[in-house]
Amino acid sequence: MTAIPASGERVRTRLPGRRPLTILGERALEILIRLSGFSAIFFVLAIFFFVFREAAPVLFTSEFDPKEFLFSTQWYPTSERNVRYGTWALTFGSVAVTALAMVIAVPFGLGAAIYISEFSGKKQKEILKIVIELLAAIPSVVWGFIGLTVMSKLIVTLTGAPVGVNLLNGGIILALMSIPIIVSIGEDALKAVPDSYREAAEALGATKLQMIRRVLLPAARNGLLAAVLLGVGRAVGETMAVLMATGHAVQIPHGPLDSVRTLTANIAAELGEAAAGSPHYRVLFLTGVLLFCITFAVNLTADMAIRGLRRK
């Protein structure tokens, strides 16, 4: 506080005025930040536009039938006599591999997240987090390689399946790839629950497991749901590992030991072969649009689910 002089005069400290350059700089920065925000929307729309532009011409040709495209299991893009572009088996393959991966990854991932956040000691926590992050850093082609060589031999010996590269193999590999994401996002969600909740619950005589089940999980459910859905996103979009591990056969699988092909693997494998501008090429782009729609639907559902939970 400034001492008031005896004479009663008001003493004012002069703040240096803002220089015009500073104001200008601030404006520029604001515009820059706004641009980078809008650019995200722009890029998404642009990608959708270009993919769709490559695919669109085939929609108006006589040999293309949208019903066949979505619901037929007949995928013979290079047949000389009877070309058929049915992606149902591919869509089913993508969904099946993802579902199997999540059945494995969600319990393990969330379990690991709970263990790291609630039970492990300080040192153990550090080690576990570093190792799990390392797991996330393994390139997908390396995962595919492991699926192709190690896992497929294991599956053949353990189950007696004729081929080791199949739905089960792809599911396990994808599960291993999504677990690090589920663990690290899930652990963040649990860490965000205030300690006071834990203490209040335990002060009321709850055991640790009761506290986790009745307080921690409900409190963190939005974050945990986000963790799972990011895992799903990774699994749906993954290409290289499933290309190598699932056997790449276009069919509706009858069990986990059948080979499948996914939408992503199909695009990756065939786009290089298809002549640019040919119907095959355009249908592959259309498959891309389909994939885009699936991931968009997953994200939208997730968003609505989270919103719904929040309102409750």
Residues lying near other proteins in the complex (CB under 8 A): 195-207, 210, 214-215, 218-219
Farthest CA pair distance, the chain: 106
Nearer to other proteins, 79 or 207 (CB): 207
Nearer to other proteins, 199 or 273 (CB): 199
Q: How far is the CB of 115 from other proteins (least distance, A)?
A: 18
**Count of all residues that appear for the chain in the document:** 312
Q: Which two tokens stand for residue 281?
A: 């090429």
Nearer to other proteins, 107 or 218 (CB): 218
Nearer to other proteins, 116 or 215 (CB): 215
d(CA 262, CA 275): 21
Q: How far is the CB of 211 from other proteins (least distance, A)?
A: 8
Q: How far is the CB of 222 from other proteins (least distance, A)?
A: 11
> Quick one: which of 306, 304, 254, 230 has its CA closest to 96?
254
- Please name the residue ranges forming H helices in the chain: 20-59, 66-71, 88-114, 122-136, 140-146, 152-159, 167-191, 195-203, 208-211, 217-219, 221-237, 240-245, 263-270, 279-311
Kindly provide the b/e burial profile for residues 178-217, where b requires at least 16 CB atoms within 10 angstroms of the residue's own CB.
bbbbbbbbbbebbeebeeeebeebeeeebeeeebbeebbb
d(CA 71, CA 62): 18
- Please name the residue ranges forming H helices in 160-278: 167-191, 195-203, 208-211, 217-219, 221-237, 240-245, 263-270
Nearer to other proteins, 12 or 311 (CB): 311
Nearer to other proteins, 28 or 200 (CB): 200
Q: How far is the CB of 306 from other proteins (least distance, A)?
A: 15
Q: How far is the CB of 121 from other proteins (least distance, A)?
A: 10
Q: How far is the CB of 192 from other proteins (least distance, A)?
A: 12
Nearer to other proteins, 12 or 122 (CB): 122
Q: How far is the CB of 216 from other proteins (least distance, A)?
A: 10
